[in-house]
Amino acid sequence: MIQLDVTRFRLPAGRHADLALAGIVLVLCGVAEGQRLGAQWHATTSLVVSWLLAVLVCAALPMRRRHPVAVGWFTVLGTGAYHLLSTVDGPLVVIPIAALYALAAQGRIQVSIALAAVMVIGVGAGALAGTGDVTGTAVFMLTGWLVAVLALGTMRHGRLAYAEEHGRLRATQERLRIARELHDVIGHTMSMIHVQASSALHRMPKNPALAQETLTVIKQSSKDGLRELRATLGVLRQADEEAPTTPSPGLSRIDELISTATRAGLDVRIERHGAAAPLPAAVDLAAYRIVQESLTNAVRHSGARHVIVDLRHGEREVTLSVTDDGHGAARPPHGSGIAGMTERAQALGGTLSAGAGPAGGFTVRARLPFPDHHEPIGGAADDPHSAGG
């Protein structure tokens, strides 16, 4: 038994759909006009001109993508002239209605309304002239059809515009997220390398052994930063590439941040409160990045010597603060780092504040709530690949 796979059949689209519609309408017009030939197949002048108009109107429809307004006016006027010459109520009116819908779907509302008004006025004039084929009921029905076509075209235009804007917004959000990740990774690593390199240059003449140790730390810091950068850029990989095996950074790797900041000359003390349960992936990453950016700013801007990192684990949120004893007033209040930290906290429904303290120094406080349903992660410390590059 022969079986047909209906999934292989596809309706024509685009220009092929216009050609198919024009061909079907032209065949139907030919059948309708054939009734006027009579038994002797006598073709009058009006019959020949009617056929010619039907062919031209149908042939114009496939060109609507290049010249939508011109094709719209031509099909409307050509169809009107056709109905004045022909004694048969042919299906040619489908062509200008299709052109009208296409214009409305493109957002050309004013032109669409003008074309619809011309069609209604033309049919109404025929009804007042008493042609016999056109009645008030026909005018009313045509008006309803045209209003429906305009409404459908306008709705399609609105849906396409919404989908395009939604896609553009998602692309912008993704671009900002990637930019924020790159800023946190590269900014932190480069700041630490800059401080350590400056220290190595200063110690080189007096203590070459200590300078060599500092250069070794710089090498390891650059290696770690490159590993994080590769993991961050993994979101841009192609579909056929392998997923990165390095886990996303989290609070389980906060000791690495403290160790790096210590090598840069900071005395960092961490204070933990509450039971340290596994955190949602987004919260864990945001907390890590906020601590990372805060330590980076302390190294770059504050001239601080001591930093306190306070972590408090709650049932439905985690709160943290990073306080240094540097020059809080000298800190840029609206830098991209603070803006990025604020965006991270707000994206989770939390809050972040940053500013100079009453006794000097600078403090960053963040509250990161948990979503209703979350998937905890084990953190980088649980992964065997997180120790080296």
Q: Which residues contact 347 (CB under 8 A, 6 or more apart)?
A: 282, 286
Confidence of residue 318 (pLDDT cuts 50, 70, 90): very high
| pLDDT score, position 369 | 92
Residue type, 217: V
For 365-378, how does the pLDDT look when each residue is reduced to its tens digit (9 = 90+)?
999 998 754 444 43
Residues listed for the chain: 389
User: What is the rounded CA–CA span in Å between residue 255 and residue 276?
Assistant: 14
Q: Is pLDDT above 70 for 335?
A: no
Query: Which H helix or E strand runs over 307?
Result: strand 306-313
Q: What are 5-36's pLDDT values in tens digits?
A: 544 545 556 778 888 888 888 888 877 777 66
Q: Report pTM.
A: 0.45
Q: What is the pLDDT of residues 102-151, one digit of tens each?
A: 888 888 888 888 888 888 887 777 666 655 555 667 677 778 888 888 88
pLDDT of res. 8: 53
At residue 97, does pLDDT exceed 80?
yes
Instruction: Indicate the average pLDDT of the chain.
Output: 76
pLDDT tens, position by position, 140-172: 777 888 888 888 888 888 888 888 787 778 777
Q: 11 to each of 7, 21, 101, 312, how far by Cα in Å?
A: 11, 12, 19, 60
CA distances from 86 to 2, 29, 161, 228, 279 (A): 47, 11, 41, 76, 77
Which pLDDT value is given to residue 119? 83
Amino acid present at 274: G
- For residue 240, the SS3 value is coil
**Which ranges constitute the DSSP H helices of 86-129?**
94-105, 109-129
Percent of the chain surpassing pLDDT 90:
8
**Cβ neighbours for 204, distance < 8 A, ≥ 6 positions apart:** 211
Region 277-293: mean pLDDT is 88
Per-residue exposure over 158-182, b if at least 16 CB sit within 10 Å of its own CB, e if not: eeeeeeeeeeeeeeeeeeebeebbe
CA distance 122 to 332: 70
Per the model's pLDDT, the better-predicted residue between 233 and 20 turns out to be 20
- Residue-range domains of the chain with CATH: 9-134 (no CATH), 180-237+246-382 (3.30.565.10)
The radius of gyration of the chain's CA atoms, rounded to the nearest angstrom, is 36
Q: For residues 318 and 281, is the Cβ–Cβ distance under 8 A?
A: no
Q: How confident is the model at residue 274 (pLDDT cuts 50, 70, 90)?
A: confident
Range of lowest pLDDT (122-131, 235-244, 317-326): 235-244
Look at residue 349 and give its three-state secondary structure.
Answer: coil
The first and second tokens of residue 25, run together, are: 């309408």
Q: Return the closest-CA partner of residue 323 out of 289, 352, 354.
A: 354
